[in-house]
Every structure is written in C-alpha cells, then in structure tokens.
Amino acid sequence: MRSTLKTPLLLMTLLPVALPALAAEITVACGDGGAADFCPALAQRWAEANGHQVNIVTTPASPTEKLSLYQQLLGSQSQDVDVLMVDIVWPGLLAEQLVDLHDYLPEGAAEGFIPSLMENNTVQGKLVALPWFTDAGLLYYRHDLLEQYGADVPQTWQALTDTARRIQNAEREAGNERMHGFVFQGRAYEGLTTNALEWVASYGGGTFVDAEGQVTVNNPQAVEALALAVSWVGDISPEGVRNYMEEQARGVFQAGNAVFMRNWPYVWSLGQADGTPIQNKFSVAPLPSGPEGESVATLGGWNWAVSRYSDEPQASADLVAYLTAEAQQKAHAIEFGRNPTRPALYEDEDVLAAQPFIGELYETVMNGVPRPASITGDAYPRVSNAIFNRVHDALSGSVTPEQAVQQLDSELARLGRRGW
C-alpha cells in the first residue's frame, strides 16, 4: 500500500511545476496608431501565441507630448501601463522608473544588438530598454524631376536651396502650383531639435552642448546655418512647414508636391507602396553639408522598456524580448522600412530584396550624431525645449537668427550653470 501512495504524492509535488503559467494582462503604450505603427499587430500576435491579453494604448505622435504623458504616468506610480515605447534620448531620464531588464529577460534576449545602442540604454549598469529600431535623418529627392531638369543630387545645403527653387518654380510655371522645393520638420517639438542639430553641426557649428558639457552654440557657423533655414520658409518651403512633423512632411512629399524632403527611413516603404504618386520616382541620399562642413545625420530610434510599477514585470519583459527579437525586427524592416538594431539584418537577403536602401544606411546609422541627451541628463527635455523654441522663433520671424542663437546660448548656459 505504501508503494501505491508514493506515485500520487510524487504527482502532487510535481504538478505545480508542469502547469502552464497564468495568463497575464499587459497594457502597452504603442505609437500613434497610424500607418507606420507596427506595435499593435505584433503585441497581439505575442498575446495570442502565449495565452496572454494585451491592451493597446495609442500615444501622441509628438515625442515631446509623449514624454510628458509618460512622466505623468510614471511620476504618479501609475500601474495603468506596463510596457512603454521610449525615444533614444529618454533612457537616462526615465531610468529610475524602469525595471532592470537583466532581471527578467530570457537568456540571450539582450545579445546581438548594435553595441552603441545597448550602451545608450544601460544606465549605471542597469539595462532599462531594448532597442527596437534605429534612425538617422535622410534626404529624400525626386530623381525623376532632377533628371528632367538636369540637376545633380545636392551635396551642400546651399546647392539644395538653389536646386529646389529652380525646379519648384519651373514646375509651378508648368501648372503644378502646389509644388514646393523642400519640406522638413519645422514644428516646435523634438523633431525640430533633430533638424536644427543637422543644420548647425553640418556647418561646423557644434552640437549645442559638447561631450564635456560646454555650451557651444554661440558661433558664426550656427548663425549662418540658421539664417539659411529661415530663408526657406515662404520660398522653397511652405509657410505651414513651421507646423510640420514627420507625417505632415511625408504627406506633402508622397502626394508628389515636394522636390526634396528631410525625414527618417520609414518613409521609403510608404512612398513606394502601390498606387502612390511617387512610386519608383524618388531616392535617398545623405543629408547635405555646410560650405566647409560634412554631412550630419541626427541619430534617432525607439526602444522598449518596462515600467517599474508594472504588476506583470516578467510577462512584460517577455513581450519586450519578443518585439525586439530578430524575426520581428526583420518583419518590421521588410514591411515598414524600419532600420533594425541588429547588425545581422543589414546583410539579410530578404530585407535587402524588400528594402534595398537599408543596406546602404548601415554606415549612416552607425555614424549618426546623438543629441546632447547623455551629457545633460535630467535637464535634456529643457535643453531640447530651448533649442526648438528658439529655432522656431527664428523660423517664424519673431527674432533674427543672431538673436535666436544668442538667446539659446544664454538659456543653455543658465540650465547648465550648476553642472548637468
């Protein structure tokens, strides 16, 4: 009899180990829910495959507004959101309110990424986010129009200005009154900071705050770069560009109403979709340089993190691992043209067949110029606000480029007076 009791007792001991994990309910802060937001579909696939439930929260398209929302949620220790999509410049800012993913990720899930991105997401030894896709600013151009008018791809910002004006005016004279020479991100938000950094740095005017924390913006090169950008508004760029974010600029370009555009890599696949007016009519190139500078592309990209206040940190980290895994990044690259954060995918035959330009962007991504977020730490949102507000003032004509640079220099110096 004793032997017959051992088996049931053994089974009772082992049964809890064999039971499947309890289903978790995870709330994910995705993107804005637009055409380029792959997050909802991927999160749902993960939930269905693993027996979990996901709730999708759409967030503002503006990174500035998105950060404000996150700070409200995390500052109140809200448990309403478990997984957050965070900008490349936020890990240091939000680190204290995010879990250390080292404690939860499956084995190997943090391997195979671009090293610099992992360094960016590691704060005082704590891995607070995994890279989802990376970005660098690009010049989009209508190669059919450049060929038609015998123009070369511009190598400098002045050449872009001249070429854009010539083709714009010729197209308008031919009856295309809606044609503009150049569109970019001119609204007062984080996107304008990235654009302004490219203008100023490509002129040799520095990166607003250097790696040692010194404010560097007050120089003739910065004034010259900003003066040229100001001259675009109402000439080769519409007055409304001062309220454009990425999608507004894309909308104008994709409708066939711009010769040149500054934007991120995701635009490629959307512009090449069947039925678009510009399908097979545009190409990409590095951004132009200043007269004696070099091409500069601001480094961008997004990551996945888990809130410190989540009730489901393990399931949330599993979702983060899934979203950033090679298979999902490959699909993201093929379907949406997003630049992977895994170097191996830049040589993947399927990715290159679907998005040929991705292979050409590897060096651009690897050499992208970061915004001064790491050195300024918690002050970065105020630093960026100062940059995009003063630049927007200049674009709007309320101050001169010289005044904008001087005011920005004073604001940044005040913010960094006691050290960053």
Q: What is the CATH number of the domain that holds 383?
A: 3.40.190.10
**Of residues 139, 300, 287, the one with CA closest to residue 203:** 287
Percentage, residues of the chain above pLDDT 90:
82
Quick check: 4 pLDDT over 60? no
- Which pLDDT tens digit goes with each residue over 182-191? 999 999 999 9
Question: Is 179 found in the same domain as 323?
Answer: no
Structural element, H or E, at residue 406: helix 401-415
Q: Are residues 181 and 53 in the same domain?
A: no
pLDDT tops 80 at residue 6: no
Mean pLDDT of 222-249: 98
List strands edge to edge, sheet with 180-183: 180-183, 258-263, 138-142, 282-285
pLDDT higher for 145 or 359? Answer: 145
Instruction: Write the single-letter amino acid at 77.
Output: Q
Query: According to the model, what pLDDT value does residue 67 have?
Result: 94
pLDDT tens column, 10-64: 222 222 333 245 799 999 999 999 888 999 999 999 999 999 999 999 999 999 8
User: In angstroms, rounded to a whole number, what is the distance separating the alpha carbons of residues 67 and 379?
Assistant: 13
Both 292 and 303 in one domain: the answer is no
* Enclosing H/E stretch for 86: strand 83-87
Which secondary-structure segment (H or E) carries 300?
strand 299-306
Residue 107 maps to a domain: yes
361 and 379 housed in the same domain: no
Q: Is 394 part of any domain? A: yes
Lookup: tokens for 252: 């104008």
Please check whether residue 40 is in contact with residue 168, taking contact to mean a CB–CB distance below 8 angstroms.
no
Q: Measured at the alpha carbon of residue 336, what is the angle toward residues 302 and 371, in degrees to the nearest 5?
A: 30
DSSP 339-376: BPSSGGGGG-HHHHHH-HHHHHTHHHHHTPBPPTHHHH
Last-in-domain residue among 366, 388, 403: 366
Q: Which domain range does residue 50 map to?
A: 12-128+299-366
Average pLDDT, rounded, for the chain:
92
Residues 109 and 39 in one domain: yes
2 belongs to a structural domain:
no
Reported as a single tens digit per residue, the pLDDT across 70-81 is: 999 999 999 999
Is 79 in the same domain as 205? no
Indicate whether 309 and 270 sit together in one domain: no
Given phi > 0 = left and psi -120 to 50 = alpha, else beta, which region is 21? beta
Same domain, 110 and 66: yes
Same domain for 152 and 267?
Answer: yes
In a domain, 1, yes or no: no
- Establish if 159 belongs to a structural domain: yes
Q: Is residue 5 part of a domain?
A: no
Model confidence at 419, pLDDT cuts 50, 70, 90, reads confident
Rg (CA), the chain: 24
**C-alpha closest to that of 47 among 72, 21, 23:** 23
Residues 169 and 183 in one domain: yes
DSSP annotation of 133:
E
- Please indicate, yes or no, whether residues 206 and 281 belong to a single structural domain of this protein: yes
Residues 240, 320: Cα–Cα separation, whole Å: 38
pLDDT for res 21: 56
Residue 4 within any structural domain of the chain: no
pLDDT of the residue at 265: 87
DSSP 299: E
Same domain, 290 and 305: no
User: pLDDT per residue over 277-301, tens digit each?
Assistant: 999 999 999 999 999 879 999 999 9
Number of domains in the chain: 2
Q: Is residue 79 part of a domain?
A: yes
The least confident of 204-213, 328-337, 361-370 is 361-370
Q: What is the mean predicted confidence (pLDDT) over 245-258?
A: 98
Per-residue confidence (pLDDT) for residue 266, from 0 to 100:
87
